[in-house]
Amino acid sequence: MDDKKNEGSQPFDLSELAGFQFGPSWARKGAEASKSRIYEDIPDHDRTGKRRDNDRKPSMRDRRMPERGEGRRDTLAPSKRSERRERRGERPQRELPQPAEGLRVELRPANAILELFAKQIQRQKRALPLLDLSRVVMASKDRYDLVFMKLEDGPILIHSTMGDGACWLTEAEAITYLWKADWFSKLYTREEVEIPAPTGTFTSVAKCSLGGELVGPANWHNYQASVMHLYRTKYAHMDLGAFKARIATDKSEEAIADWLKQVSHTTVWKPTRENAADVVLTDTKAVEADFKANHFDKVYEQTDKVFVNGATPRAHLSPGLAAHLSILSDKTRRFPQMLIPNLCHGLARHHIPIYKWQGHHYTGPSRVRAIPADMVLADRMTAIINWTKENSGQKVDAMCAALSGVPAGTDDTQKQAARDAYAPYVADMIWLLEQGFIVVTADNSIWYPKGEAAPEPTKAPSPQPRKKGKTKAAPKAAKPTEASTPAAPATTVATTSDAPADIPAEATAPIAEESTQAPPAPTSDATTASEPEAKGTPTEITETPPPTASPASPEAPEATAPADAGEPAASGESAVDTPGPTA
C-alpha cells in the first residue's frame, strides 16, 4: 500500500520529451527537406499530388458509350466503321438563310384584329393597356402582317395573286413554286401514260432514305435527272450535298421490280386553257416554259410593297423573306413593346383614342381628363365621382352596392333586384366613361384618373356686345364709320361754312397732308376742328391736332380712306380732298 502511495506522489521526468514535436508531419522541422527528397525523382507534370490515370483501376464511367462525335470502340468491321465515320463527318449542318438585303420590313397588326379591338372597346367601355394588346396580337401568327418595302437598290417583290400569300424575289423561285402550289390543277391536268420499260442490266436501285422514293439505278441514263427532280419537288429546302448523302443503294429484287413498274408509266401534262387541247407536255421543263409564256403575268404581280400574313407557310416565301419573318416575329414576341407604335397607328385609323396614364399607353372609349371647374353634374353622377375619388381601384359592383344601398344577392330574386337597382348608376357611369372623367379597367376596377378638377380655362378677350345709349369699347372706337356719324354732313359743313372764299390753296393743302399722315384721325373730326382757325396761317393749321386722336388699332387708316373716298359730294367736294379752289 505504501508503495502505491509513494508511486503517485513522485514527480514526472519530462526531459525526454523535449525533442518531441506536436502537430502534423508537414509542419515539423525538416519537412521541406524530406518533401524535396520524395519528389526529386518524379517528373514535374506528376507533382500535383493526384493519382495518375495509369495507377487507378478502370470504373464503370470509363465503360460508358461515347457521346455523339466521339470515337466508338473498334467493335465494327473496318469497312462499315470507316463508312459510318465518313458519313457522319461529311454531313454538313443545315445553315439558316440570311435575310434579304435592300428591304425595309415592318410588323403590323392585321386589320381583322384591329376591327375586333375597336368593337370590344366601344361595346365594353374598358381601358386596356397597349402592352397587353400587343401580347394578344403576338399570341397567334394570323393576327399580324409583315410589310416588305423595297428600298432604292432592293430587289423586286413578286407576289402571288392567287390568294396563297406566296412571295418571291426571283423569277426562277416563282416558277419552281408552280409544282407545290394549290392552283396548279387549275392550269394543268396530269395524266399517266404507259411507256416501254428501260432495258439493260440493273443490279441495284438508288433509294432516298428520307421518304423511301426510288430514284433508279446508277447506270441508268436518266439517273441524274431523276435525282434533281426529286430534290426540287420535295427536298428543295435542304442542301443538295446533304440530300445526296441520304441516297442509299438497295440490291433487293423487290426494289428493282418496283422501280421497273414505276418507270414503265410516265406523267404528261395538258394545259386547261382554251385552244390548247392538243398540247402535251412530256417533262417538267416544258411545263415551266409553258407557264412562263402563258400564265406568269396573270399569276404573279411585281410590286414594291407586299403584305404577308404571319401564318403564311415558310415554303411559300423566298428564303430571304422567310428569314425576315422568323427573326422579326420571334423578336417581337419576346419584346411586345416593339409593336406599340404600329398598334397606335392601327387603332387611330379605327378612331380609337390613345392616351398615357400611370406611365403606360392605354386605349379606351375616351381620353382621360379632369372635370371642368364650371361643370355642374347631376346628384347621382356627383356621388359616383366622390365615391371613386375615395375608393379608387375598387370594383364596380362595390360602388353600385354602396351608392344604391342594395347588396348583391345570392339567389335569383335578390340578384335581379340588385341589377334593377344598379341600372341607373351603370348608365351614369357609362356617360362618365365616355367623357373620360373615370376609368374602368379590364378587371372591372373603377379609377379616378385625375386627382384634381381641371382649372377653369382662360377665355380670350372678346368684344363686348354694344348696348343702346352707350359708347362702344375703346378698341372699337377708332372705326371712322362709328366714331363720326355721318361723314357726309361733316363735309357739307366744311364746304358751306362761314369761312371766307378767298382762302388760298396753300393754306388748305397742309390740311390734306395732315389728314393722310395721321392714321387715327377721322376726316370729319379734323375738318370740323380746323374750321375756327381757317383764317390763320398755314403753320397754325397744320399744328392743330385733332381732339379725338388716339393710338387706336391700325384698322383706322384702312377704314378712313374708303369712307371719305366713297362719299358722294352733295354741294361740292370735300375740303380735305379738294381744297380752296372747289369752295
pLDDT computed for residue 462 by the predictor: 55
* This model's pTM is above 0.85: no
What pLDDT was estimated at residue 16? 56
b/e per residue 572-581 (b: at least 16 CB within 10 A):
ebbbbbbbee
**Would you state the pLDDT for residue 573?**
39
Residue 114's pLDDT is: 95
pLDDT at 550: 42
Q: What pLDDT shows up at residue 266? A: 82
Distance CA 168, CA 187 (A): 20
Strand partners of residue 360:
357
Helix axes 340-349, 130-138, angle to 10 degrees: 100
Residues 415, 421, 424, 430: is their CA dihedral positive or negative? negative
User: Contact at 8 Å (CB) between 453 and 372?
Assistant: yes
Res 299: pLDDT: 94
Q: Describe the strand order of the beta sheet including 360-363 as a list of residue ranges.
A: 128-129, 360-363, 354-357
Report the relative pairing of strands 167-168 and 305-309 from DSSP bridges: unpaired
For residue 321, CA distances in Å to 299, 302, 344 come to: 19, 15, 26
CB atoms within 10 A of CB 500: 9
Written as tens digits, the pLDDT of the chain (583 aa) is 455 445 545 555 555 555 555 556 666 665 555 444 444 554 554 445 545 555 555 555 555 555 544 444 444 455 555 555 555 544 445 567 889 999 999 999 999 999 999 999 999 999 999 999 999 999 999 999 999 999 998 999 999 999 899 999 999 999 989 988 999 999 999 888 888 878 888 889 999 988 888 888 888 888 898 888 888 888 887 888 898 999 998 888 888 888 888 888 888 899 998 888 888 888 888 999 999 999 999 999 999 999 999 999 998 999 999 999 999 999 999 999 999 999 999 999 999 999 998 889 999 999 999 999 889 999 999 999 999 999 999 999 999 999 999 888 788 888 899 889 999 999 999 999 999 999 999 999 999 987 654 444 445 455 565 655 554 544 444 444 443 344 444 333 333 334 333 334 333 334 333 433 444 444 444 333 334 343 333 333 344 444 444 444 334 334 333 334 344 443 333 333 434 443 3
pLDDT of 87 reads: 53
